[in-house]
Chains A and B, each alone.
Chain A
Amino acid sequence: MNTLLIGFLIGGAFGAILYMGGATSYRRILGTLLLKDMWIIKLMCTAIGVGTLGIYLLDLGGLANLSIKPAYLGGVALGGVIFGIGWAVSGYCPGTCVVGAAEGKFDAIFTVVGGLVGALIFAFMFPTLEAWLIEPFNFGAVTIQELIGINAVYLAVPFSLLLLSMAFFILKDRYE
């Protein structure tokens, strides 16, 4: 099958899951960040828990097309901080603003347009940022198991079980 069509179908399922699962909901995103409504974090823990096991098993069979991002600590940490502020201010992330825009939410459309501007600003600042934040402290595309030198099974299985038990047993909503 054509890769463009595969992309469209996988994206279609992704968008449908985010919409139906309430991931485009402002009150759920902010509720999670205010540590009151655990819906989004439980959804993410379940997804990562299942994904970790799934990808581990695929990789075991030599069937995984992995894509490990490089660990340049300065840029990843500062980028994470800037991203986190944008997340709290808009109530969306880059994927959910696209789905929110599809729902017809005008605030999500503004976030998409802001995102296009933010990505363009980054593109023009890239040469400077690369020298200061991307090239230094770059540990490359490394996984935790490579870093500490153990077999992936000893990490993937406990990590997956930890996330699933957080989602199903540990995390609780707290409303006053």
Chain B
Amino acid sequence: MKQNEAIISWKIAGLALGLLLTLATFLVKPLGVSAQFVVTDAIAVHAVAPAAAENNAYLAKYGAKDGWSIGYGWMLVVGMFAGGFITSRLLRAKQPEADKGSMPPMWAAVFGDSRKKRFIAAFFGGVLLLFGARLAGGCTSGHMISGMSQLALSSFVFGVFTFGAAILAAHILYRKRG
């Protein structure tokens, strides 16, 4: 059954993530990702049309914080990309076959192997993810992992509604295959 595992077990990954969260909270602040999508948008809009970015209250709130440039949180996301890039190049041989590539076998078994269909779903899923995360004020890392670890009320509310909706949506998507 080695094939069905991952490169490290959930125990090691969970322990490492909990310790990393503690270290980050000690050094700077808890982990968070979704706000950096806004920072990226703010920097991009500001580069093309500075007035449009400055007149948008939400873009200005995130963009002006670091002078319409990158800051700690943005570098954290760049680091995530680098960490994923390096480990995936080094350890690809150990990654289960089912987890490789751009077409998950589980998706293809139900929705067919059209790449276009999978990419459209991935794109609109991404639109909903970040719209929802920004409305709620955080995502899996900032709200669920960091927020619940700080026993924040809003993060428990987020966790309940997120898992509720995601479990329901997954069952609707895969209803035929149950």
Contact = CB atoms under 8 A, between A and B. Distances in A.
Interface of A: 3-28, 30-31, 33-35, 39-40, 42-55, 58, 63-73, 75-108, 110-124, 126-127, 129, 133-134, 139, 141-145, 147, 152, 155-156, 159, 167-168
A2 B13 CA distance: 27
Contacts of A48: 18, 144-145, 148-149
A31 to B, nearest CB: 8
Interface residues of B, number: 127
Given A22-B99, A76-B137, A8 B79 contact: yes
A45 B17 CA distance: 11
The 7 closest A-B pairs by CB, nearest first: A11-B79, A50-B18, A114-B126, A46-B14, A90-B125, A21-B13, A79-B136
A80 B142 CA distance: 13
A39 B4 CA distance: 11
A94 to B, nearest CB: 4
A12 B18 contact: no
Contacts of A94: 33-34, 37, 129-130, 133, 139-141
A11 B82 contact: yes
26 contacts: A4-B75, A10-B76, A21-B13, A21-B14, A21-B16, A27-B105, A33-B170, A55-B25, A58-B22, A64-B26, A66-B29, A81-B161, A83-B162, A85-B165, A90-B126, A99-B80, A101-B81, A103-B88, A106-B115, A113-B123, A116-B40, A122-B134, A123-B38, A126-B57, A144-B153, A167-B11
Contacts of B33: 94-95, 98
A167 B10 contact: yes
A87 B20 contact: no
A-side interface mostly: helix
Contacts of B150: 52, 55, 66-68, 143
| Residue in B26, B73, B156, B158 with the greatest tally of chain A CB atoms within 10 Å | B158
Contact of A91 (B5, B9, B78, B104): B104
B-side interface mostly: helix
Contacts of B154: 68-72, 76, 139, 141-142
A141 B158 CA distance: 14
B126 A80 contact: no
Contact of B73 (A7, A85, A122): A7
B40 to A, nearest CB: 6
Contacts of A113: 123, 126
